[in-house]
Amino acid sequence: MAGSRAAIRYAKAILGLATDQNAAAAVNEDMGLIKNTIAGSSDLKALLENPIVKSNVKVTALKEIFKGINTISEGLFDLLADYKRVDILGDIAEKYIILYDEQKGKQVAVVTTAVPLTAELEQKVLAKVKELSGKEITLENKIDESIIGGFILRLGDVQYNASVANKLNSLRRSFSNSL
């Protein structure tokens, strides 16, 4: 939790600096690259989270991996190394992207289903979510077979759980409470 709050603070600061220097879009692309690279590489994630590896080694590795990125993004590596917070770089990148999208009036809605959405159903969900939020929405479909059926819609801080697993758990709780 503390790492998440710190990530939001760093992301807000970087977004403010990037906006002031008219580089918010370029930094957003960098953050997308950083987020995807860290998420896709267990070795890189392990390196960043390893407390034994010195911060300067982590920064050198990051600068080598992400050659050619914006100076603001590169400066973030040094800043995180100074405060020994390089381990939250992936979280910062994710929070930056969310904040940048909010600044541009965009929002990501995450729909979790047991099976992939069909194109027709995806369009219906997208239209309904746009109608409810009034913002430009990007729909992300996550697959989680444990929900059995139905869906879970998450838009920002709001979550609507219409999954079969949730309904079964509600029934289980009501039966337990009535005994």
Tell me where in the chain the CATH 1.10.520.20 domain(s) lie: 2-102
Q: Which residues pair with 108 in a beta bridge?
A: 138
Indicate the pLDDT class of residue 1, thresholds 50, 70 and 90: very low
What was the pLDDT predicted at 3?
61
Q: What percentage of residues in the chain have a pLDDT greater than 90? A: 68
User: What is the fold, at CATH topology level, of the domain defined by 2-102?
Assistant: Peroxidase; domain 1 (1.10.520)
Identify the sign of the CA torsion 135, 138, 139, 140: negative
What was the pLDDT predicted at 133?
82
What was the pLDDT predicted at 128?
84
CA 93, CA 11: separation in Å to the nearest integer? 7
Mean local confidence (pLDDT), 125-144? 86
Mean pLDDT of the chain: 91
Long-range contacts of 3-9 (CB under 8 A, 24+ apart): 3/87, 3/88, 3/91, 4/91, 4/95, 6/85, 6/88, 7/88, 7/91, 7/92, 7/94, 7/95, 8/95, 8/99
Indicate the pLDDT class of residue 2, thresholds 50, 70 and 90: low
CA 162, CA 111: separation in Å to the nearest integer? 11
pLDDT digit string, tens, across residues 85-124: 999 999 999 999 989 988 988 888 889 999 998 999 899 8
Q: What are phi and psi of 67, to 5 degrees?
A: -60, 140
Q: Are 93 and 32 in contact (CB under 8 A)?
A: yes
Which DSSP helix (H) or strand (E) runs through 98? helix 89-103
Longest dimension (CA), the chain: 64
- Those residues with Cβ within 8 angstroms of residue 171's Cβ, 6 or more apart along the chain or in another chain: none
Q: Are 142 and 127 in contact (CB under 8 A)?
A: no
